[in-house]
Structure 1
Amino acid sequence: MKNDFTFTIKSISFDEDYSPSENTRITTNFANLARGESRQENLRNALRMIDNRFNALAHWDNPNGDRYSVELEIISVEMNIDAGNEAFPLIEILKTNIVDRKTNERIQGVVGNNFSSYVRDYDFSVLLPEHNRNRPEFSTPENFGELHGNLFKGFLNSEAYKENFHKPPIICLSASSSKTYHRTDNQHPILGVEYHQNEFSPTDQYFKKMGLQVRYFMPPNSVAPLAFYFLGDLLGDYTNLELISTISTMETFQKIYRPEIYNANSVAGTCYQPNLKHSDYSLTRIVYDREERSRLAVEQGKFAEEHFIKPYKTILDQWSANCVL
């Protein structure tokens, strides 16, 4: 079946003046930071943390630790199924750009980083709870995540993606608190020490259907491993500065979102299980409403169900079943 779906990309700067648009996914973590009385201070502090972490990792030829700054763009992806209807807001990701103050050069970073999706909200906050409501044991519905995965792969294969981005995405998330990670002897100068786990988490399995592999690394002077989802060769396809832009951005956000793990006062050991109930950690000076985010995920999952999944179910099911990506 021919793919007639079209994708449109919109971009807005994420800086201290950023304010979420009316149609943004407000469960997007960076949108959460940009609301309330502390919004500008939140944003300013987060951006300063990102720059400081970037310069700490990119320390060569950088004696004062201030050579680089990171500029962030929020990339919103809309999808149009029928030219006569309004486009649906499918995905939001982040794009990093690196400013070299020594050479006055602006260097492209990495696209991906944070990942937000209405359809993922639907899958995890509406479909999965409904499927397990009266079941004695937890399970996932048949073909769980396949539509979402095909939509994501369709976006990566689209002209819109190819025209705007020169490399595949890296998505960097928290390690799963339900799994145990084991330190290996493999160490990368930028990504740090690699960890392995014995079993994929539900998020790992979900992202696999998006065509993404995962590796876990704890960067230098970090306290816990991060999950890096990617296509191709994570260590070979990206420059050191590109990798640093992802680490500095997403580790900063994780320190804000999950301080129990990423701002802990002790470093992950040889055998490590993340714990959101861990009590020995430090707080950043940035306000983040984790409870609100969980509530809004359900609301936005229902929005996706009402405006995307149900109205276009037949078309989406046929397309997903027949697409080859």
Structure 2
Amino acid sequence: MANDLTFSITRTRFDEDYSPADSSRLTTNFANLARGEHRQQNLRSALAMIDRRCNDLAVGDPSGDRYRTELDIVSVTAHFVDGSEDGEFPLLEMLDVAILDQHTGERHQGILGNNFSSYLRDYDFAVLLPSLDKSAGLPSDFGHLHGQLFQRFLESDAFRSNFDLEPVVCISVSTSQTYRQSEYVHPVLGAEYLHEHSSLTDDYFGRMGMQVRYFMPAGGKAPLAFYTRGDLVSDYSDLALIGTISTMETFQRIYRPEIYNANTAAPSTYRPSLAHTDYSTPDVSYDREERSRLAVTQGRYTEEHLVKPHRALLERWAAAGAAVPSL
């Protein structure tokens, strides 16, 4: 696996002039915002929301405009050799965050990982999973190949030459679990919540070497799920965590306003619901149903262009660390 797989990285600035490339994974939140009649206003509004939240969390700034976030879309392409054929496939996309101190001019590097997206994950959840006989339980190796490729990327020269910190993937809490607030409160991440049991999402990220913790930052409406291979509370600076929270909380307010733009904050015992009606709608256009449809489309694309033509190679990669999954 080490000799027949390499990675390359490209960066695209995510600002009010951003327009998705043809190769961009369109189910990502940032790509959905940047299409349609109101694309530029959507982007301006979302970026302003991120900056406001960043300054809200950065206590000690009476002006409220000291910090400005800068976001790059990091696109990862896998390059491989399959027999006599050179191949490549768009593997991952994530946001990389930097925070600019407009008082001092200093630029602080944030954390990679927001809006984590993957064509192969689309295949796993939108194509493979619905085809399985779940009455017999999921295969024990579900998500193994995706996890292998993700961790292989983190061990690559492409990652190590561009990033110093482990990624943090921040996503919404699940509507199928109840969360209970613990006594621990982090100065930036906020109140920690504990979940009932491990979920399919937890197991899938576990294949990527990641563990989850749940926190509701001060001023937030609901806990966020933070997945990382490192130590969330000690490996990252406060300002780096603020960049991650302000970015992902904003996207969740747009994507799931019933939960993250609710008019009241989550109580100490909390079960999220998309049927919740007491919430405010952000002034940003977003098509949630289209996003779900595109996941199927892009899962089928992965099946056609990666899984089927390169099945034997993928099985060799997967077998490098565990039993071969059924693709």
Query: CA offset at residue 155 of structure 1?
Result: 0.5
Query: In structure 2, what is the equivalent of residue 258 of structure 1?
Result: 256
Moved over 6 A (4+): none
Query: CA offset at residue 310 of structure 1?
Result: 1.2
Equivalent position amino acid for 1:212 in 2: M
Query: CA offset at residue 182 of structure 1?
Result: 0.6
Correspondence 1:1-325 to 2 at 5 A: 2-60=2-60, 62-82=61-81, 84-132=85-133, 137=135, 139-323=137-321
TM-score (norm 2): 0.95
Whole-Å separation in 2 of the counterparts to 1:23 and 1:295:
17
* Contact 1:80 1:86 (8 Å CA) reproduced: yes
Question: How many percent identity over aligned positions?
Answer: 56
Listed one character per residue, the Cα deviations across residues 69-127 of structure 1 (whole Å, up to 9, x for unaligned) are 00000000000112843420000000001110111111111111111000000000000
Equivalent position amino acid for 2:292 in 1: S
Equivalent position amino acid for 1:56 in 2: D
* Contact 1:3 1:319 (8 Å CA) reproduced: no
Query: CA offset at residue 2 of structure 1?
Result: 4.0
Whole-Å separation in 2 of the counterparts to 1:95 and 1:276:
28
* Contact 1:224 1:262 (8 Å CA) reproduced: yes
Whole-Å separation in 1 of the counterparts to 2:137 and 2:255:
28
Query: CA offset at residue 229 of structure 1?
Result: 0.3
Listed one character per residue, the Cα deviations across residues 170-225 of structure 1 (whole Å, up to 9, x for unaligned) are 00000011111110000001000000012012111100110001000000011100
Whole-Å separation in 1 of the counterparts to 2:99 and 2:116:
20
Equivalent position amino acid for 2:108 in 1: I
Listed one character per residue, the Cα deviations across residues 243-301 of structure 1 (whole Å, up to 9, x for unaligned) are 00000000000000000000011211111111011111110000010000000000000
* Contact 1:178 1:201 (8 Å CA) reproduced: no
Equivalent position amino acid for 2:252 in 1: Q
SS at match of 2:234: coil
Deviates more, 1:83-92 or 1:34-43: 83-92
SS at match of 1:199: coil
Equivalent position amino acid for 1:143 in 2: D
Equivalent position amino acid for 1:141 in 2: P
* Contact 1:128 1:141 (8 Å CA) reproduced: no
Equivalent position amino acid for 2:52 in 1: N
Cα gap change, 1:138 to 1:55, in 2 (>3 Å): farther
Equivalent position amino acid for 1:85 in 2: D
Equivalent position amino acid for 1:21 in 2: A
Query: CA offset at residue 59 of structure 1?
Result: 2.1
Query: CA offset at residue 138 of structure 1?
Result: 7.2
Equivalent position amino acid for 1:311 in 2: P
Whole-Å separation in 1 of the counterparts to 2:3 and 2:176:
37
SS at match of 1:81: strand
* Contact 1:99 1:105 (8 Å CA) reproduced: yes
Whole-Å separation in 2 of the counterparts to 1:8 and 1:246:
24
SS at match of 1:51: helix
Instruction: List alignment gaps of at least 5 residues for structure 1.
Output: none
Alignment size in residue pairs: 320
TM-score (norm 1): 0.96
Listed one character per residue, the Cα deviations across residues 30-53 of structure 1 (whole Å, up to 9, x for unaligned) are 000000011000000000000000
SS at match of 1:306: helix
Query: CA offset at residue 141 of structure 1?
Result: 3.0
Whole-Å separation in 1 of the counterparts to 2:317 and 2:167:
24
Instruction: List alignment gaps of at least 5 residues for structure 2.
Output: 323-327
